[in-house]
Amino acid sequence: MDLMDMSIKVSPNDVDKIKQLLSQMNIQIESNLSSESQSDTQQIEVELSDDEIDLLSDESEPVITVQQNNVLQMKPSENIINSLSYQPNVSHHNYDLSQMYSQQVATPQIDDEKITLNVGGKKFNIKKDWLEHLNINCSKLHKINSSGKVAYFMDRDPYYFSKIIELVKLNEMDNSEFQKNVSEYSEQLISELCFYKLLDNKYRPNPRLKLKRVVGFVDNSQHNNIVKIIIHNQMFETFESTLLKGTFFIDKLRTNKSNKLQLTHTDPKIFRHILNLLRSGNLYVHSNTIMETLNEYGIEYDVIVEKKIDYDIVPCHHKYNVNVDQALIATSQYIKSRYPDMMNNIFVDTNNIITTESEMKFDSNIIFNLNDGEKQNAINDMYICVDIPVINPTDGIEYIDFLEYRLIESVSIYFFDPRTSKTVFLMSTIPDYLYIYPVLYTENATDYHRTANSVTKKLKLIYNDTLIDIHRVTLPLFLFESSHLPIKKMVNNGILTQLIVKTASPKKIFKHNKLKNISLLNISLLTNCENRLHEMNVPEKSLFYMYERLHAVNIQVQHTKNPIYDIGIISLEGMGMIKDLVFTIITKENNIQNTVNIFSENLIEMEIICVSANSPYCVLDATMMNNYIPLKKLGHSLPEGIYYTSFSQDPRTHAFLGGMHGKDLLLRFKVKKSSEVIRLYVNEYHDVIF
């Protein structure tokens, strides 16, 4: 196009500016400003009646721009002439008119990174990376060409699409947040999230209504016309093939010569659900009104009675009289007839529940009598199970993070030996070590931690045929493995064995130092037991049992004048024969918050020093204690920030296979400057004869 032949319509306010600009370029212009050119014009993409224009114009139904700054913005029309930059007294020589004009008039550029997406009648200006995030394949969408503009049509519910856009922005495109908050969503919204693959299909609920069959044979490729349905000032858009699944719409479309349908006797809120059922074949809400409307439209459907229960139901732990004698008798008869030499090794593993007679409350000692398991020969593993109430969100208070490791302060096992008339300490543990223990001595620490973390699950306790909302925490206390606790032998010898649980104060389990008076609903022990036939005359000789006594110490880091490191020192005097030790380094912030699972990679080196000789026994750095030594001794490396060493050939077994006595030894740590506290856990060999 020749620039000299162009005519430009401008507003009166811009006339003088344009004349002055073009006169500098020696270009003659014709002023043809009319009243029509002074009024703003607006393009309408579809031809509608006057009533429909009032109802469905771009002013009342704007195109929504989807941006990543969490703000929905209107896409305004731009006045190109008003955007001209005016520069007086500028001399131009040897200029290219077409280039000059392109510099002065900024032609609006089409954003290749955005498309116009029509979702069920509502338009969105959406970026292509959003399409990818929502798993929408643009090439498979229906393309609409109108007045030189291209839009894409997707036959889905725009209400839920808008809601999902808002949630994606709120979650900052982190799909894991949908899993955390899935309990807060309606079933229909969950199904839409699954459609866009923002949630795994395992979360998809069972439908309430299901489309029974498609009426006749519908070829989608021949019926991909978009039909506009107008109901009481609301407009819906869908494919003709979608509507052909109901006999009512088949007749309507057959007699109607346009792609518009007027429905006056239907509630638009109900019709939205009808359309969703026709689109996907499933509906996750239902009511009598919806079903009556479906019947009126001749849409055949099935009612799905089953409703998915979105919470787990757990039993209340009571004391049970476990009796496996009959099973053992049948087993012993079988073994005796075939393998008489194996009679001394007949046993069956079972799980048992031990309850308490102590008053169940926080900030108290709760005592369990382990002799209640006298029918069992030995205890192999032991878990503690704690039930606490769910806090109402309206209370403005919430539990601390990692609550499962803060409900108890310590667990200890003591026994009274009538032969010596003394109470003897056997073993103990604390919450911090309960978190680290499976990291050290098992290959599946993540599974142990996930099992313990039931606080975030929706649980209901069944009590007297009533469901009560609870949090249940289950923690492994002692995994005895090769060195079990011989309960039957201890009972026969008159040894009374007790496990004492010190529960935490309510002040320590709520965030922001807030306090709420809550009840400890229940606490019990779960044990894995070895059962033997009581009638069997098995000699019970005194045996040597090897356990471990835990020494847990917080070492305050001492700040030094050295610009690189600070130090921490502790004596191992009084810690007996040491099997192994592990420690973590905590910063000031995490120490104040009393975190369980956050450790700092602040170790420079650890020295084991012989005090009398004033010389180091050995010096270990972070790589040795975090990788090499754990790999050799435990079979795996450790998470960053956990440091370990062992003096036993195989620390995974409860047997004396080497150790170091703590007498005349001390540990000296060199740590980075940001360190506050070193949490040290030392395992001492502890032998008992039963």
Is the predicted pLDDT of residue 331 greater than 90, yes or no?
no
- pTM exceeding the 0.75 threshold for the entire prediction: no
The per-residue pLDDT for range 554-603, each reduced to its tens digit, is 999 999 999 999 999 999 999 999 999 999 999 998 888 888 888 999 99
Sequence-separated (6 or more) residues with CB below 8 Å from residue 225:
239, 240, 259
Nearest to 276 by CA among 262, 266, 286, 264: 286
- Say whether pLDDT at 348 is over 60: yes
Report the pLDDT value the prediction gives residue 556, as an integer from 0 to 100. 96
Q: How confident is the model at residue 291 (pLDDT cuts 50, 70, 90)?
A: very high
Average pLDDT over residues 622-637: 94
What secondary structure letter does DSSP report for 534? T
Tens digits of residue pLDDT in 227-277: 999 998 899 999 998 888 888 888 888 888 788 888 888 899 999 999 999
Closest CA to 525 of 357, 313, 348: 357
Is residue 214 very low, low, confident or very high in pLDDT (cuts 50, 70, 90)? low
Q: What percent of the chain lies above the pLDDT cut of 90?
A: 29
**Considering Cα of 398, then 403, then 406, then 407, what sign does the dihedral take?**
positive
In this structure, which CATH number among 1.10.645.10, 2.70.9.10, 2.60.320.10, 3.20.10.10 belongs to the domain 314-541?
A: 2.70.9.10
- The structure tokens 């369980």 sit at 596
Q: Of the ranges 34-38, 169-173, 460-464, which is most confident? A: 169-173
- Per the model's pLDDT, the better-predicted residue between 85 and 616 turns out to be 616
628: DSSP letter: I
* Cβ-based neighbours of 458, under 8 Å, separated by 6 or more: 183, 310, 311, 312, 469
Kindly report the number of other CB atoms within 10 A of residue 379's CB atom.
22
**How far apart are the C-alpha atoms of 59 and 53, rounded to whole Å?**
10
User: Is it true that 314-541 and 547-689 share their CATH fold?
Assistant: yes
CA contacts within 13 A on the Cβ side of 557: 24
pLDDT of 501 strictly over 90 = yes
Average of pLDDT values for 419-437? 86
Does the domain made of 547-689 have the CATH classification 2.70.9.20?
yes
Percent of the chain exceeding pLDDT 70 equals: 75
Which among 205-214, 308-317, 622-631 has the top mean pLDDT? 622-631
Compare 327 and 215 and report the one with higher pLDDT: 327
Which of residues 365 and 181 earns the better pLDDT score? 365
What are the pLDDT digits (tens) for 530-568?
A: 776 654 544 466 677 778 889 999 999 999 999 999 999
Q: What is the pLDDT of residue 191?
A: 93
Residue 487 and residue 379 in contact, taking contact as beta carbons nearer than 8 Å = yes
Per-residue confidence (pLDDT) for residue 113, from 0 to 100: 77
Give the residue extent of every domain in the chain.
1-41+78-107, 314-541, 547-689
